[in-house]
Amino acid sequence: MSESPVAQLRREYDAISRQLEGAPGSAEREAAKREIIAYFKKVDALLGEMTQLKDDIRQLVERYKRVSADTKQAAAPEFTGQRPALHADHIGASTFIEKGWSLISLGDHVGAIQALTKALQLSPGETQAESLLGWAQMLHEDYDDALGTFQKVLMKEPANSLARINVGYICLKKRIFGEAIEHLSKAIRLDNDKKATLYAHFYLGLVYLQREMHEDAQTFFQKTLKLGPNLIEAYYELGRAYWFGGDKDRATATWDEGFKANKFNPWGKKCQDMLELVGQGQEPPRD
């Protein structure tokens, strides 16, 4: 196992420290001064290189997210947004907030929960940390914890539409349909965040589809596609709403449209799979 670069630097530090012990003469002090300056410059240069490497790793994270998309969590809101601004604070909470954001982006939800919990220990009630912690908990399917976290955010920021649609999503997953409709409908009325408005319509479509209210589901999925034509899973779900509502021709036409809209998207491929499935005389999945 290769030695840590920090271990080598620590040995250099210890060697210089020993030079300063025992009241050295002027010549020894001058030599130690030159070594300290050179050592400082070496460490400073390495820190600059490591900072650049850290920024490059973030680019790898974004590339990873683009090439690794699948349908496992596609119904959850896509995690996007600006990286938290890292600022100097005496308690270091912002460092853990930024770390939590990066880990969510990479898909390490457990690590993100740990980092953001630490941020909140250092800075209790910090809204950005609470919002990100709710995201991490939700994506890790810790729905009860996530619900409690987002409710804290909404108590302080009732117009936070992204937090509200996440509560709606969690209620949908827990099959608390009444509360889901309440939160999602409010996000639509607020209409202060395009992404939140888009997903509020999509989730309401899912709520009504699960309740077998197919015409209502169709209406919300149709609106979703008007707001966000690139949300390909809406084609998949709209096709199911048509199929179970008795309009099989429109269902197959919708899946075909979804596949053609983006053949390389995982949900575009699921639309193609659905066409093949029903073409073989089988039924689409209910869930």
Are 112 and 132 in contact by the 8 Å Cβ rule? The answer is yes
Predicted pLDDT of residue 62 = 65
Which DSSP category does 119 fall into?
H
Could you report the per-residue pLDDT of 101-120, keeping only the tens digit for each?
888 888 889 999 999 999 99
- Give 251's contacts (C-beta < 8 A, 6+ positions apart): 239, 240, 242, 243, 278, 284
The CATH number of 54-66+79-141, from 1.25.40, 1.10.150, 3.40.50, 1.10.3470, is: 1.25.40
Cα-based torsion angle of the residue sequence 231, 232, 234, 235 in order, rounded to the nearest 10 degrees:
150
d(CA 100, CA 114): 8
* pLDDT for position 92: 74
Half-sphere exposure of residue 95, counting CA atoms within 13 Å on the CB side? 7
| Whole-number pLDDT of residue 235 | 97
pLDDT digits (tens, 9 = 90+) for 71-84: 554 566 666 555 66
In this prediction the pTM is: 0.75
Stretches in the chain below the pLDDT threshold 50: 73
Q: Is 135 exposed, middle or buried (0-12, 13-18, 19+ CB in 10 A)?
A: buried
In this predicted structure, what is the pLDDT of residue 106? 80
The predicted structure's pLDDT at residue 17: 83
- Quote the DSSP letter at residue 196: H
User: Where in the chain are the domains?
Assistant: 54-66+79-141
Tallying the residues shown for the chain, one arrives at: 287
CB 139 within 8 A of CB 149: no
Q: At what angle do helices 161-173 and 127-139 cross, to 10 degrees?
A: 30
Task: Transcribe 143-176 into DSSP letters.
Answer: HHHHHHHHHHHHHH-TT-HHHHHHHHHHHHHTT-
